[in-house]
Amino acid sequence: MATHVKRAYKYRFYPTDAQAAELSRTFGCVRKVYNLALQARTEAWVLRQERINYNTTSAMLTAWKKTEELAYLGDVSSVPLQQALRHLQTAFTHFFGKRAKYPRFKSKKKSRRSAEYIISAFRFRDGKLTLAKVAEPLDIVWSRPLPAGAQPSTVTVSRDAAGRWFVSMLVEDQTVKPLSAAGAAVGVDAGLDHLLTLSTGEKVANPRHERRDRARLARAQRELSRKVKGSANRAKARLKVARIHTRIADRRRDGLHKLTTRLVRENQTIVIEDLTVRNLLKNGKLARAISDASWTELRSMLEYKAHWYGREVIAVDRWFPSSKLCSNCGTLQSTMPLHVRTWTCDCGTTHDRDVNAAKNLLAAGLAVSACGAGVRPQRSTPDGQLAVKQETQRATAGTSRP
């Protein structure tokens, strides 16, 4: 692992009216250039089977600025516009690599409003940040200091749906170093009654942030639905709804950061289940609760923090029967309905469903780490069921008791 990593530090700032107007114009121009380039690349392929790259769209941008219709593109800094074309190129690279869907046009109402500046388009001196074509330094609230001696390589300015302005600075953080080796390993079972259940027996409560504000959010959404479209009152009502959503999201993100940091600091190896959250969200009764739990964001945080601090995160295949397998003797139960929270194995051991699943995930993950064994059950035939039982027994042998 490298001795330091690229890390983004995000701060809130309060622009003057002139700065807000200039940055808003920049956001609009970024969106316009992105959409024009996407349209040009799409038409080139559909009409002529021709692939257009970043260099071609960059030349197009120069031509667009010279037209009367798009002359306003020259009134803002050119760097965010060029960065938008680079982002589009990256989107197409992911598409052709079959890692993402075809790029979509940016919407004025729904798309993220942001502009990215590289080092040639901003100045950072003595704790003051000045952007190209923005007259004065930004009034930033330094909620935490940048690493000593760090100089931003990229600055991204954004505005969220609640009207808050943020600036994110990408720096090389030499303070992020691998932690001293820890011998502990933990299995983590995600759930809804409890957000996480650990193989140690600890259960982390599910804070249910969305449920706490559900009544307030529903009332604000009803008020929004009554407003006339396009009116000033509707804009105010929309802002009220957005502020409730952002408060929920901020609380959720803060809780996940604290939880994942603790898990990474205390354990050398963390074993999780490879859940397909996208498919789970198709369950209409549980979709809201699953979204509120934010398992995908939790896994993402675990993975990048483990990379930073020299830890290991192992994802066990989603088909591994962690809940149906006895962590004591290795017996595989034929069925295990969701409403069964405790069960007793033939060996006489009584299991808490979630704790037992976490123990099995830990054993299977350590087996995979040690010998590369697979843990995906082959459920199509009785022989496959036998193979699953034998495989999972081997995976959990290290935790079995006589």
For 233-291, the pLDDT digits (tens) are: 999 999 999 999 999 999 999 999 999 999 999 999 999 999 889 899 998 899 999 99
Is 295 within the bounds of a domain?
Answer: yes
Active-site residue list: 189, 273, 354
Q: Is 131 found in the same domain as 12?
A: yes
Distance of CA 333 to the CA centre of its chain: 35
Q: Is 190 found in the same domain as 160?
A: no
Q: Is 108 found in the same domain as 54?
A: yes
Q: Is 275 found in the same domain as 208?
A: yes
Where a domain ends, among 315, 347, 367?
315
Q: How many Cα atoms within 13 Å fall on the side-chain side of residue 226?
A: 6
Q: Is 81 found in the same domain as 201?
A: no
Alpha helices (H) along 199-294: 209-212, 214-226, 232-266, 277-280, 287-293
Q: Give the pLDDT band of residue 378 (cuts 50, 70, 90).
A: very low
Residue 3 confidence (pLDDT) = 54
**Segment (H or E) for 25:** helix 17-48
Residue 322 confidence (pLDDT) = 86
How many domains are there within the chain?
Answer: 3
Can you give the residue range of the structural domain that contains 354?
317-399
- Across the strands, what pairs with 114? 158
Q: Is 94 found in the same domain as 233?
A: no
Write the DSSP symbol of residue 311: -
Q: Does 55 score more than 50 pLDDT?
A: yes
Of 389, 250, 402, give the one whose Cα is nearest residue 333: 389
Is 180 within the bounds of a domain?
Answer: no
Where a domain ends, among 116, 141, 173?
173
The type of residue at 395 is A
Residue 338 confidence (pLDDT) = 83
Predicted TM-score (pTM) of this structure: 0.83
Q: Does 372 score more than 80 pLDDT?
A: no
Where a domain ends, among 275, 294, 315?
315
Q: Is 197 found in the same domain as 303?
A: yes
Residue 108: what are its φ and ψ, rounded to 5°? -65, -35
Using DSSP bridges, classify how beta strands 140-141 and 185-190 pair: parallel, antiparallel or unpaired. Answer: unpaired
